[in-house]
Amino acid sequence: MSGLIDRLRTCVGAAHVRSEGDLAAWERDWSGRYQGKALAVVSPGSTQEAAEVVRACAQAGVSVVPQGGNTGMVGGGVPDASGTQVVVSTRRLDRVRAVDTANLTMTVEAGCILQAVQEQAQARGLLFPLSLAAEGSCTIGGNLATNAGGTQVLRYGNARELCLGLEVVTAQGEVWNGLSGLRKDNTGYDLRDLFIGSEGTLGLITAATLKLQPRPGAQLTAWAVLDSVAQAVALLDLARGELGPGLTSFELMSRSSIGLLAAHHPTRHPLPPEGPWSVLVEASGTGGEAALAECLERLFEQAMTRGLVRDVVLASSLAQSQALWQAREALPLAQASAGPALRHDIAVPISAIDGFLQETDAYLARTFEGVQIRCFGHLGDGNLHYNMQAPAGVDAHAYLARHQAAIHDAVWRRVTACGGSIAAEHGIGQKMVDPLHRFKSPVALGLMRAIKQGLDPRGLFNPGRVLGEVSS
């Protein structure tokens, strides 16, 4: 393998090939749950260098693990334990290649940090709406490789919907220049969407042309307290009708999740009075703040009249709005501080959410007495983080280890039964490979294998991830 290391040094410069010392920053995921061992970590400085690195690895029969900001939730971006894989880090590919304000597009390299992309758009009076907790350190390449979701999907879509074109190094070591600033292009198969969400198993994304949006002139936030999920679903329906595309976020939080904030993540502003369920609504519009406030007031008047809402607070300042969002965004951290959890990143049709939660909550409460269900997420997208923590006073690690298989099974079976997804926004990576094979249809898996075999017949890219097998 020293021949390969030498060749990689020649490709990208010795300073950008790490094969000794502490490589934990690339070998271990941020949660510490996934730890591998890399043959080397290589950081190409250009697309051409990236293509040379891929060709060198392919010729040496060494597999390539693409990595962006290493903020994934499912272990998809770290090497396995074999010590034989090369991590290709995109972090030096961080140039903004072009901003076209008339076309509302921006072409950036894969290693650009999401927040930097947001700021570039903002500096031009525009919006790049992808927004998620890791935005300060995740890269746009990773966002696209995993089809990231976040808090603005309801209005603007997933990462997939925010991208017009890609540049990718293929398993043949060629560069596909699919950077497109076009809204319409029917010249053949949709290669872009095939690479998006393929988690680095089909190619290495090196750049992307992103769709920008006009920046809404006004934005307002409300926090409502409700008695049931059925009421939240009815409020969502009302909000869609009243606000149309002005409804940009609709987040649901259970009392059991919010209850963790006081002990583990106190907010600067007091939260509205407690209730069984809370909803964070964000509205935006071009017509000015007063018109938007009127819309929101009309919405909640109707909601009150119909008995959907127990209490509501409209944020009266930017600071208060930010405090409400901070409370929502602190929920995963507060939960982590409260101890280990079994996590489920699920989506179900919005019409099925209430029934799903009622049945699954009841089953879990009955079968695993005292188990604590933390439920929060993007109700507007049908996407919930539905996590379980151990009953108070027991050894949490032992409890969860004992019941892990049964709890996962109970949740995923019910999700599947109502036409849902067991991996809504975090992806498959390593963590979800086995469940994917249990719950995805054999026909779909067969199509996926045929595509992998067609594009990467030797299993060069990220073997063992998503499809869970090495083809070569």
Distance (Å, whole) CA 221 – CA 472: 52
CB atoms < 10 A from the CB of 454, how many?
Answer: 10
Distance (Å, whole) CA 19 – CA 86: 9
CB of 132 to a copy of itself, least distance (A): 12
228 near a copy of itself (CB under 8 A): no
Which residues from 371-390 bind a copy of itself, rule CB under 8 A?
Answer: 378, 381-383
Give the residue from 61, 216, 150 showing the smallest Cα distance to 380: 150
Quickly list H helices, 218-273: 229-243, 255-264
Contact with a copy of itself (CB under 8 A) among 30, 176, 271, 458: 176
Contact with a copy of itself (CB under 8 A) among 240, 269, 402, 458: 240
**Would you say 240 and 354 are in contact if contact means Cβ atoms under 8 Å apart?**
no
Which residues from 267-286 bind a copy of itself, rule CB under 8 A?
Answer: 285-286
Which residues from 287-346 bind a copy of itself, rule CB under 8 A?
Answer: 287, 291, 295
**Would you say 23 and 38 are in contact if contact means Cβ atoms under 8 Å apart?**
yes
Which residues from 12-41 bind a copy of itself, rule CB under 8 A?
Answer: none
Beta carbon nearer to a copy of itself, 104 or 388: 104
Beta carbon nearer to a copy of itself, 2 or 187: 187
Contact with a copy of itself (CB under 8 A) among 3, 13, 136, 241: 241
Tokens describing residue 6: 């030498």
Question: Counting Cβ atoms within 10 Å, is residue 393 exposed (0-12), middle (13-18) or buried (19+)?
Answer: exposed
CB of 21 to a copy of itself, least distance (A): 34
CB of 126 to a copy of itself, least distance (A): 10
Beta carbon nearer to a copy of itself, 317 or 441: 441
Contact with a copy of itself (CB under 8 A) among 142, 149, 463, 464: 149
Which residue reads 């869970």 in tokens?
468
Which residues from 69-98 bind a copy of itself, rule CB under 8 A?
Answer: none
The piece of 4-12, 27-35, 195-203, 262-270 that touches a copy of itself (CB under 8 A) is 195-203
List residues bridging with 364 in a β-sheet.
Answer: none
Contact with a copy of itself (CB under 8 A) among 37, 92, 97, 160: 160
Tokens describing residue 225: 């307290």
235 near a copy of itself (CB under 8 A): no
Beta carbon nearer to a copy of itself, 45 or 157: 157
Which residues from 391-410 bind a copy of itself, rule CB under 8 A?
Answer: none
**Would you say 246 and 285 are in contact if contact means Cβ atoms under 8 Å apart?**
yes
Beta carbon nearer to a copy of itself, 94 or 161: 161
Tokens describing residue 125: 């009076």
Distance (Å, whole) CA 116 – CA 324: 24
Q: Checking DSSP bridges between strand 372-378 and strand 247-254, what pairing results, if any?
A: antiparallel
CB of 168 to a copy of itself, least distance (A): 9
CB of 19 to a copy of itself, least distance (A): 30
Give the residue from 36, 35, 34, 2 showing the smallest Cα distance to 17: 2
The torsion angles phi and psi of 221, rounded to 5 degrees, stand at: -125, 140
Which residues from 204-223 bind a copy of itself, rule CB under 8 A?
Answer: 214, 216
51 near a copy of itself (CB under 8 A): no
Distance (Å, whole) CA 143 – CA 164: 14
Contact with a copy of itself (CB under 8 A) among 40, 121, 204, 243: 243
Contact with a copy of itself (CB under 8 A) among 20, 22, 32, 188: 188
- The DSSP code for 412 is H
Contact with a copy of itself (CB under 8 A) among 347, 357, 364, 375: 347
CB of 23 to a copy of itself, least distance (A): 28
**Would you say 343 and 422 are in contact if contact means Cβ atoms under 8 Å apart?**
no
The piece of 22-30, 243-251, 262-270, 335-343 that touches a copy of itself (CB under 8 A) is 243-251
- Please calculate the CA angle 415-30-6 and round it to the nearest 5 degrees: 120
**Would you say 391 and 340 are in contact if contact means Cβ atoms under 8 Å apart?**
no
Which residues from 108-147 bind a copy of itself, rule CB under 8 A?
Answer: 146-147
- The DSSP code for 35 is B
CB proximity list for 180: less than 8 A, separation 6 or greater: 164, 165, 192, 209
Beta carbon nearer to a copy of itself, 407 or 455: 455
The torsion angles phi and psi of 87, rounded to 5 degrees, stand at: -80, 125
Residues binding a copy of itself: what is the number (CB under 8 A)? 95
Using CA atoms of 384, 344, 147, 91 in order, give the dihedral in degrees to the nearest 10: 120
444 near a copy of itself (CB under 8 A): yes
Which residues from 410-439 bind a copy of itself, rule CB under 8 A?
Answer: 419-428, 432, 436, 439
Contact with a copy of itself (CB under 8 A) among 67, 131, 151, 158: 158
